[in-house]
Amino acid sequence: MTQFSFLAPEFPDLLGLAQKAEVAALSDPRGACFWARLTLETALRWLFKRDPALRTPWQENLAALIAEPSLSQLADPAIVAKARFIKDQGNRAVHDVGKPITPQDAAATVRELFHVCYWIARTYTTVAKPDPGLRFDVARLEHTLTITASTVAQIQKLRDDHAAAARSLREAEEARAASDEGRKALEAELALLRAEVAATRAANQAVRDPHDYDEAATRDAFVDLLLAEAGWPMTQPRDREFPVQGMPNDKGEGFVDYVLWGDDGKPLALIEAKRTRKDSRIGQQQAKLYADCLERMYGQRPVIFTTNGYEHWVWDDQMYPPRRIAGFLKKDELVLLMQRRATRKALDGVSVDNAIAGRFYQQRAIRSVGEAFERDCQRKALLVMATGSGKTRTVIALIDQMLRANWVRRVLFLADRVALVKQAHNAFKAHLPSAASANLLQRHDPTKNDHMGARVLLSTYPTMMGLIDEVKGGQKLFGPGHFDLIVIDEAHRSVYRKYRAIFDYFDSLLVGLTATPRDEIDRDTYSLFELERGVPTDSYDLEDAVADGFLVPPRSISVPLKFQRDGIDYDSLSDEEKAEWDALEWDEDGTIPDRVEAADLNKWLFNKDTVDKVLEHLMVNGIKVAGGDRLGKTIIFAKNSRHAQFITERFDANYPHMKGEFARLIDYSIPYAQTLIDDFSEAEKSPHIAVSVDMLDTGIDVPEVVNLVFFKIVRSKTKFWQMIGRGTRTCKDLFGPGEDKDEFLIFDFCQNLEFFKENPTVNDVPVGRPLGERLFATRVDLIGTLQDAGQYEELLASVKARLQDEVAGMNLENFVVRHYRRSVEKFQVPDSWKSLDLDARLTLSDEVAGLPSAFDDGALAAKQFDLLVLNAQLFLLRGDAAFAQLQRRLVAFASALERLSNVPTVAREMPLILDMQTEDFWRDLTVDGLDDIRRRLRGLADLIEPRQRKIVITDFEDELGPTAPVDLPEMGSGVDKARFKLKARRFVAEHKDHISLLKLRRGEALTKTDLAELERMMIATGVADAEVLTEVKANLGLGTFLRSLTGFDRAAAKEHFGRFVAENCLSASQNTFLEMVIDALCENGMIDPGLFYESPFTDLDEMGIAGLFQPEQTAEIIRIVEEVNRSAAA
């Protein structure tokens, strides 16, 4: 007898479909899942048609019906979760060709259908309710030999036949409704039916429902679904409740909830499942004991997972402490993890490819990451490296090392722009051709861009967000363990705010790259990488890179423009210009202003002479190439797209012989803008001036750039440094053979240099929370304030209901929501909103606010108006003086609507709109009155179009003041020192055969005469003046400084150590140590003996020199080194 017999009295159609699912469960699992899904869809369509509490979604497919917030309000979240499970299994039945559906899958699906059908029968019956003690018994399912397993094609035909039949019924109903008489009859029937159904539901829900909906089974089903997503069928008896011996209890035995087995019959992982109301981590000790038992039985220690259906934790206690994970690892990922226990090499024993990243700071950064991952068992690292210092090459070399050490197999590289992904992909193909890479933004091509087989995948953040939920063959395309390493290019707070869900989802090592100076990185970014603020894994700042000659220094020049700084005042114009001012059409009302503020310049007023003077100053004073005949590559940072267009128009007007190719607008408004960037990146190709709005601020690598023009105000320190980074890259032979780029110019027309110099500790404006998140949090705040007030009960209930609707629309299958599933499910239950204490409100604000929801909150303008009114309500309740400012904004809003009185929807609300503009209206206004304004006018907000200022073009004479050099903020005179060092390096190269420099390189003592001669030569050649040399002599000494540039002759170094080597029988490690000392002397000219106790010298022995040599030998080596160091001083 069927277990769905309770449907017979009033739901015979559902009974017929459910029976088909029940009968087929063990014999035709795929067919059973299809029939279960069809039963569910039929039931929900019945509900949505008849129950007035349910709102029909804009799409009427099953997924949309389940996601409709009104369903979650009506039914317990457990019922909705069961419905989702049935829908997913039914989708597998129709679409998953290569993945079998097991009898266990089908039995679980039919069990969940049983509970959904019970709820429907219990809620909507007009006769006796079904027995609350009914239980679904899997043992009663029968294997029927007369039923054969369905194929996907057969299931798809069943689906199509059913859809055709349903379509015929709809068409018949539509035909009946075609006439007025038929339509009215149908509407009357439906209204009567809906009223009856609503009354029946209300009566049935008034009685407590004691039925056990078996939430533990639903949890197990969800765990099974996660396992299926990871490719684990769990079809064998040994997969569940596996018995083990050796547990510390009376019987010495235990039963492991789940065991994931390898093809060799050994356990790869175990899963310990706990009740949903308990923290899954309480099962970690029990799971560890199970792992001990399995290891004794099979000689292989499994990975440990614990779960309660909401949170999942993984613990590979051979390598890392427990950590939260979004799901379970696939078999190949666990097999690889097992193999790595034996085959993974120590990173400090694997060389870094110098051909990819050979600079000392790149090697140091890679070693620092290795130490963080290996020695400190950390899983996240942050590298701060100045723009142009080779961040991408550094991380490519790191990936190469980790691939060879068997630390990683698959890598994800994320950037925030398409152009940066393309640029990074080209770098991977050039520097790491042995590891296949693919750009996920481009079409999959098995031969050129293989998404499936590539070792390195590159993507933007939004693209990856969209791919995470993709399923293929019943498995997640990208499971939590798919990537071993994720690299974030330009890690900063917007990444933290918008895309942290990606890093919460993937269980991988994480490396962040940023050019933002370490002290400017916000704490959110350090939090993402679990680092102390201000202490990245490794850093190499711009000043260091310039001092070491790897980047070129800027020469920063402030260029004062009168209008740009002071605005345009009518009284200061000439008589001729005043006449032009008076003749201008300033706006539609004919108003003539007395002045134009500086902020309005290049916003709606564009002055020809201002732009002309900027361009003339650039063309005359900018760095030239091609023998001085052509301005070098230049970026002009414009205020907006219209400003950038105006600049290019004025350039073409002033330099028509350039034929419109020399200066081009490059921003997001230009189709095929990437082709312009590609052309700009080629040294001899036009354009040579790129006028950019945001698009070239970050990430574009053009070493030939020698001029940067700041024609807009910048107040973000992070962005300011990124923009400066466009010019820091070195470029060999830029001015001819042997004439390299040694500096670049910054022309600042907007006082940015002065601003950051006067405000060295200014912080970036915090990244704002998305509007939807702010609305949610503000409503939660309003709930708390209303509860404290103890009145406005109707408004309080309304705000709660509005938030509950939004939470009800949150899809638990979405990977972002899934991370907070416990909290979302809790607040999808209506009872949880009855009284929201502080903890509940904090949970809503911190965890639930901002999660994606199917709830439709209207247009952007309506939501912005909501936020305005909600804040006004809060200020009014709290007696905050800021309410007056919001009142003015609401009055202005009403005034803007009054101008639209010819629109019927506005005309209907005109009495309210006019009242809002009177003082009496606001005198006794309450928060209820404000809510009335919000509800009645929010739908009109979208009608108000922002008033665009008329574009005004003028040609008043501007004034260019005297230019002034300004030290870059945070660097001060450091840039000048770096520039001096570059000049000194060139001086040393040009005079390398001078006797005094030869003596320096050979370690021969310098006389005072030698130093005096070197000082004279440096002043004579313009390398330095007397003041700079005095500072050098006071700090290091001139000889010591020059030795750091000349290095030390290798033959001379070996001669110094010759006697020591001859008198001691050195081991291989000791010889290697001495070679490292000699290498350091040759490269740097001298070495501090204190470094002998640090890396890389400690790579040979953890005690450094003291661990390799006897005390007397150590003392002798240090004596020799100090002797070499002293030889540089007179």
DSSP string, 3-58: TTGGGTTT-HHHHHHHHHHHHHTTT-HHHHHHHHHHHHHHHHHHHHHH-TTSPPPS
pLDDT of residue 466: 86
Domain-ending residue, one of 343, 367, 401: 343
Integer Cα distance of 85 and 63 in angstroms: 11
Tokens found for residue 629: 């005949």
What span, in angstroms and rounded, lies between the C-alpha atoms of 1095 and 458?
33
- Provide CB contacts within 8 A for 1079, sequence distance 6+: none
Place of tokens 């790259």: 513
> Cα separation of 724 and 744, whole Å?
10
pLDDT at 98: 57
Query: Both 535 and 460 in a single domain?
Result: yes
Q: 1057 and 1040 in one domain?
A: no
CA distance 183 to 488: 59
- CA–CA separation, 1003 vs 1010, rounded Å? 14
Q: For 68-72, 426-430, 852-856, which range has the lowest pLDDT when averaged over its residues?
A: 68-72
Q: What are phi and psi of 982, to 5 degrees?
A: -60, -45
Question: Widest CA span of the chain, in angstroms?
Answer: 117
Q: Check whether residue 395 and residue 467 sit in a common domain.
A: yes
CA 1119 → CA 204, 533, 1067, 1113, distances in Å?
95, 40, 21, 10
Mean pLDDT of 396-410: 96
Which residues are CB-contacts of 835 (< 8 A; sequence separation ≥ 6)? 787
Rounded to whole angstroms, how far apart are CA atoms 234 and 248? Answer: 28
| Contact (Cβ atoms closer than 8 angstroms) between residue 787 and residue 997 | no
pLDDT score of 179: 61
Find residue 746's DSSP bridge partners: 556, 708
pLDDT at position 165: 67
- Do 173 and 189 meet the contact criterion of CB atoms below 8 Å apart? no
The DSSP letter of residue 764 is: P
Q: What is the mean pLDDT of residues 1091-1106?
A: 84
Kindly state whether residue 961 falls inside one of the protein's structural domains. Answer: no
What confidence score (pLDDT) does residue 524 get?
64
Q: Which amino acid is at 621?
A: N
Phi and psi, residue 563, nearest 5°: -65, -35
Type of residue at 89: Q
Distance, CA of 138 to CA of 110 (rounded, Å): 9
Same domain, 395 and 407: yes
Contacts (Cβ under 8 Å, ≥6 apart) of 487: 395, 399, 411, 412, 413, 414, 511, 512, 513
**Domain extent at residue 691:** 555-750
At position 576, the amino acid (one-letter code) is: E
Provide, rounded to the nearest whole percent, the portion of the chain with pLDDT above 70: 93
d(CA 231, CA 330): 6
> Per the domain annotation, does 214 fall within a domain?
no
Beta strand residue intervals within 852-994, DSSP E: 952-954, 964-965
Higher pLDDT, 1095 or 1087: 1087
Tokens of 800: 């709660």
Q: Are residues 565 and 699 in the same domain?
A: yes
SS (H, E, C) 330-356: CHHHHHHHHHHHHHCCCHHHCCCCCCC
b/e 658-683 (16+ beta carbons within 10 angstroms → b): eeeebbbbbbeebeebeebbebbbeb
Closest CA to 756 of 718, 729, 730, 786: 718
Grade residue 417 by pLDDT with cuts at 50, 70 and 90.
confident
On the question of pLDDT at 656 being above 60, the answer is: yes
971 pLDDT higher than 70? no
What tokens does 494 get?
């917007």
Same domain, 70 and 139: yes
- Cα separation, 1126 vs 1053, in Å, equals 14
In this prediction, residue 574 carries a pLDDT of 92
* Domain CATH for 406: 3.40.50.300
What's the mean per-residue pLDDT of the chain?
87
Strand partners, 747: 557, 709
Positive or negative CA dihedral for 100, 102, 105, 109?
Answer: positive
Q: Are residues 577 and 639 in the same domain?
A: yes
Q: What is the pLDDT of residue 430?
A: 94
Query: Is the pLDDT score of 720 beyond 90?
Result: no
Does a structural domain hold residue 326?
yes
Specify whether the CB–CB gap between 729 and 701 falls below 8 A. yes
Tokens at residue 765, please? Answer: 């404006």
30 close to 101: Cβ distance less than 8 angstroms? yes
Tokens of 231: 């490719």
Three-class DSSP category at 384: strand
Estimate to the nearest angstrom the gap between the alpha carbon of 1019 and the chain centroid.
52
Do both 590 and 496 map to the same domain? no
* Closest to 740 in 3D by CA, of 1073, 985, 481: 985
DSSP letter at 848 equals I
* pLDDT tier at 972, thresholds 50, 70, 90: very low
Strands (E), 123-261: 240-245, 253-261
Which three-class secondary structure state does DSSP give residue 792? coil
∠ CA 759-761-765, rounded to 5°:
90
201 and 264: one domain? Answer: no
Q: How far apart are CA 392 and CA 400, in angstroms?
A: 12
Q: Cis omega before residue 1096 (within 30°)?
A: yes
Count of domains forming the chain? 8
Helix (H) or strand (E) holding 631: strand 630-631
Q: What is the pLDDT of residues 567-594, one digit of tens each?
A: 999 999 999 999 999 888 887 777 888 9
Let me know whether 716 and 795 are in one domain.
no
> Do 277 and 365 belong to one domain?
no
3-state SS, residue 147: coil
Q: Convert the pLDDT of each residue in 918-959 to its tens digit.
A: 988 998 899 999 999 999 999 999 998 877 778 899 999 999
User: Which amino acid appears at position 1056 of this protein?
Assistant: H
Report the SS3 class of residue 59: coil
Q: Is residue 645 part of a domain?
A: yes
Q: Find out whether 268 and 260 touch, Cβ atoms under 8 Å.
A: yes
Handedness of CA 329, 332, 335, 341 (dihedral sign): negative
Distance, CA of 303 to CA of 270 (rounded, Å): 6
The whole-angstrom separation of Cα 292 and Cα 88 is 36
pLDDT of 796 above 90: yes
pLDDT > 60? residue 766: no
**Domain-located, residue 159:** yes
DSSP state letter for 550: S
Angle at 520 between CA 518 and CA 526, to 5 degrees: 65
In contact, 514 and 490? CB cutoff 8 Å:
yes
Last residue of a domain, one of 291, 313, 343: 343
pLDDT per residue as tens digits for the range 814-826 = 888 888 888 998 8
* pLDDT tens-digit readout, 839-878: 999 999 999 999 999 888 888 999 999 999 999 999 999 8
**Is the predicted pLDDT of residue 521 greater than 70, yes or no?**
no
Q: Collapse the DSSP code of 554 into the 3-class scheme (helix H, G, I; strand E, B; otherwise coil) and give the result.
A: strand
**Domain-embedded: residue 415:** yes
Asked whether residue 587 falls in the same domain as residue 692, the answer is yes
d(CA 717, CA 585): 39
How many CA atoms within 13 Å lie on the side-chain side of 169?
6
How far apart are the C-alpha atoms of 388 and 361, rounded to whole Å?
13
In a domain, 706, yes or no: yes
Those residues whose C-beta lies under 8 Å from the C-beta of residue 753, and which sit 6 or more positions away, are 556, 558, 746, 966, 968, 969
In a domain, 498, yes or no: yes
Residues in the chain: 1130
- Distances in whole angstroms, Cα of residue 951 to Cα of each of 585, 607, 611, 631: 9, 11, 16, 31
Confidence band of 974 (pLDDT split at 50, 70, 90): very low
Q: Number of C-alpha atoms within 13 angstroms, CB side, residue 651?
A: 25
Q: Which of 510, 540, 570 is the last residue of a domain?
A: 540
115, 38 in Cβ contact below 8 A?
A: no
Mean pLDDT of 5-19: 92
State the Cα–Cα distance between residues 1101 and 1012, nearest whole angstrom. Answer: 44
What residues are paired with 33 via a beta bridge?
none
Answer for the pair 607, 581: CB distance below 8 angstroms, yes or no: no
Sign of CA dihedral 491, 496, 499, 502: positive
Place of tokens 């949150």: 810
